[in-house]
Structure 1
């Protein structure tokens, strides 16, 4: 069906459908239907047909100033004010976010919304009935689907301000007359096809710059804070007129209207973006991250994420969305579930292009643990360290996998499941040969029905397994009874040595704790006495050996007997040579 865009003056433009009863909006008397009189027409018949009540013929007589209601001149034009039609209602099919509704008090269909006082806003609920004059304000990441009385569906997008300016029905059950004022944001409409006998049906979306009126089609209208409007047609055809001549919009075409009402040329919509590279699974609890495609002519992209709880593949339950310029597009706060993602490219004139859709599953909970030890790219000594990660409040168990570097964990070398602690013992890790590896961890929760629900793995972390250096054999210099002067051991180039000395075997209070680069250490700075020493080696990879067993030594030039016993004075003090 062809529709026409007719200028309404300074207030904007109107798309009007060709029908038996012509629609003439925004006249000084208000919106009206125009009926061309045929032989046999009477005001009583027309009141029954349009107003659903034959007794209201006097209202038509008064509006049209008809002198003789029994004598209507064939070919003449009568006006039926839409405010006289029966009121209709709409219902909320789906709502996301803190969408608020405001009901205008004493609303008249032919009165601008600004002239009507408004009640306090209320949160919108699914199943709620909406009346003529109701306004909807949709916040960021909000969305609402409204089903009109004729089955048409209006999907109001995030950051939008819409008023149901007119909702009237012709006759008792005739065609619907609907007008929506889109003050800011976006509206996508799927308008049901009407029978031939109901061609007077009107569906119109007005913006500060333009108004679209169609039936049996799907289209999108966007308007920004500056008042510029863009429309794009997915199905059906639209004739756009602002003065002369008119421009026909076919499926796949769009048009832009400037804030001052200047109508652009019909433009081919940008093609549907190629998103075959998008992931099928999102596992990040922070956001759903979608890389933007690169398209000639595209300056930004509109993305919507809709719940898919059944086999239907539609966008009637959008839970996240927005306009994005920088890649990647990130949608936050998305719960686990199955979704349909929609993307349209938008050109420099603000005209949205054809839509691509993509099936996406989100499984981000329970969240994976964080890594504690070892640090990224660490070198781990076999048998010295295991793998440690944080606990997660929701988790009842954990899973840790280890795989060769560069693999995809299709065949992990270690797959430890249902771990009570988020850790893998050093002995288990020591079963692997030296080499480069990846490891990752996941949380597992227990649902109310007792079933286990595994969450996603954290991003894999790299590590290197290597042989740890061995503890050296210590050599204590010095003759018996003279006290050790130097301690030596076999060393290697590039090694460092950790010396710890204490007067107790438990090393509770070390008197020496130092690192050396040479494989020897002198004791001459120690006070005379008995001491304990332990040491560990650090190799070029930063791996450290275990500490050596504690070795006891003494310092000082003591007086000894022939068999090596230290002599003491009468008060028990050991004697030292001068």
Structure 2
């Protein structure tokens, strides 16, 4: 019929070398020659197009190919393959074998020549659902599928596409994806696992996380296929990567989104509230095509209703003062070297060096940061500085030894004698025996001590016939445990003798 448009041919282009040739149409099964049913509206549009009733621009638009429909995956046939088997293995709808047959001009779908290259439209390929595994959780952290009630997250649990995850105050969770990528969720965050899929035949993955509130830290395994996609979407931006370490923080009160890149690069684009008008990049879109390309040690801040923020340099990682100090006080606290331009400081504590198993998250207006009480053990602390715009800078990580050892000491004259008695005690929560060192001097810096006695096993010492004067003293508790040496000194105290 004059003016008839064969869409499958127009979209696919010429068949590649090595593809099967089209034989007599009579040899093609009847089902492959039956035109697909069309709606009345589609039939009316086709008639109008054939009769020239649509304007030229409309006809050009009708002929314009869908870019996604042009994407092809190539399958090389194996001995014993039939087109029906291939369609069952790889297509969303096995009945679409007819479209593949027309596209590749296959005349004998049951008898495919081994080594033949078949083109399969990516849009027809089946997408299998992936899962995320909970590898760490602490404090209030919960999940739910769709609109179901929230349930506590459990280590070893499995999450799927459509799951919601929330963390409360001092709540943490870490998810691991199939390729080893990690999503670390600090306190006060809310997100959806919007897409977790893998395309059959190509193996490309599509992972999309919708961030509704708070922050996520991600370590994304480097993409191995051009169509692999990993995106964090907030209401204002879309951050896409192909293997990197970065943070996304959405402030729901201000409507702003901060993207901070630690390693690699992140493409940042504006997000649309209307799904149909979304400008989020499709799988396979190069990062360089993004509105803003943010590289390592840089960040982007997008304000509510504004354009995607241009990249700016992040603050340097702060240094920890006295990094070898054992945290033996009741409250764990750190002193950081001040960073120029810092308005706040951020400290996170985890049980592992990668800080995937987080247990504390604290911010402070100054470089002295108090964490609170912690059980004894070895931890890892991550420190960063926050600039005036709220962008968090580069992190530094230190191992921290926590060993509570409360040491009390007192001294006094023994009535009726010229003896002066010193007593001390430890509130010991850790295993291991304790020995003490007692130091007495006439100077506050304890130089040239009058008494320096070590290896004391009890909790007292008596000094006799001290002359008049001012004296200074301290006691040091020493422990060996697990091959490690620990010590804690009491504050230097003083007393005056007037015999």
TM-score when normalising by structure 2:
0.66
SS, match of residue 92 in structure 2: helix
For 1:137 and 1:279, the matched residues in 2 are separated by 34
Specify the structure having the higher radius of gyration (Cα): 1
Q: CA deviation at 1:409?
A: 9.0
1:426-465 superposed matches below 5 A: 427-428=462-463, 430=465, 434-440=469-475, 442=477, 456-464=487-495
- Residues 168-197 of structure 1 show CA distances to partners (whole Å, capped at 9, x for unaligned) of 1211782322111222222111111132xx
Matching residue within 136, 139, 158 for 1:94: 136
For 1:256 and 1:93, the matched residues in 2 are separated by 30
Aligned partners of 2:134 and 2:154 also within 8 Å:
yes
Aligned to 1:414: 453
Q: CA deviation at 1:351?
A: 1.6
Rate the CA distance shift 1:48–1:172 in 2: closer, same or farther, 3 A: farther
Rate the CA distance shift 1:157–1:257 in 2: closer, same or farther, 3 A: same
Aligned to 1:559: none
Rate the CA distance shift 1:394–1:155 in 2: closer, same or farther, 3 A: closer
Aligned to 2:227: 200
For 1:260 and 1:225, the matched residues in 2 are separated by 13
Structure 2 gaps of 5+ residues are 1-65, 106-119, 271-278, 280-288
Aligned to 2:436: 399
Q: CA deviation at 1:254?
A: 0.9
For 1:433 and 1:172, the matched residues in 2 are separated by 92
1:324-363 superposed matches below 5 A: 324-363=364-403
Rate the CA distance shift 1:59–1:261 in 2: closer, same or farther, 3 A: farther
Rate the CA distance shift 1:397–1:323 in 2: closer, same or farther, 3 A: closer
Matching residue within 358, 361, 369 for 2:407: 369
Bigger helix share: 2
Rate the CA distance shift 1:454–1:392 in 2: closer, same or farther, 3 A: farther
Root-mean-square deviation (CA), in Å?
A: 4.3
Aligned to 2:22: none
Rate the CA distance shift 1:410–1:187 in 2: closer, same or farther, 3 A: farther
Matched, 1:157 2:186: yes
Aligned to 2:423: 388
1:89-238 superposed matches below 5 A: 89-95=131-137, 97-104=138-145, 116-122=146-152, 124-171=153-200, 174-195=203-224, 198-226=225-253, 227-238=255-266
- Residues 76-121 of structure 1 show CA distances to partners (whole Å, capped at 9, x for unaligned) of x978499x621111112222x22422221xxxxxxxxxxx312242
Matching residue within 251, 258, 265 for 2:310: 265
SS, match of residue 354 in structure 1: coil
SS, match of residue 53 in structure 1: helix
Q: CA deviation at 1:142?
A: 3.4
- Residues 495-514 of structure 1 show CA distances to partners (whole Å, capped at 9, x for unaligned) of xxxxxxxxxxxxxxxxxxxx
Rate the CA distance shift 1:353–1:71 in 2: closer, same or farther, 3 A: same
Aligned to 1:495: none
Aligned partners of 1:363 and 1:456 also within 8 Å:
no
Aligned to 1:323: 363
Q: CA deviation at 1:228?
A: 1.6
Aligned partners of 1:302 and 1:345 also within 8 Å:
yes
Matched, 1:36 2:70: yes
Q: CA deviation at 1:126?
A: 2.5
Aligned to 1:490: none
- Residues 230-265 of structure 1 show CA distances to partners (whole Å, capped at 9, x for unaligned) of 011122223334499933222221100113353222
TM-score when normalising by structure 1:
0.58
Aligned partners of 1:140 and 1:158 also within 8 Å:
yes
1:307-322 superposed matches below 5 A: 307-308=351-352, 313-322=353-362
Aligned partners of 1:48 and 1:171 also within 8 Å:
no
Rate the CA distance shift 1:173–1:138 in 2: closer, same or farther, 3 A: farther
Q: CA deviation at 1:209?
A: 1.9
For 1:165 and 1:382, the matched residues in 2 are separated by 81
Aligned to 1:303: 347
Bigger mean CA deviation after superposition, 138-147 or 436-445: 436-445
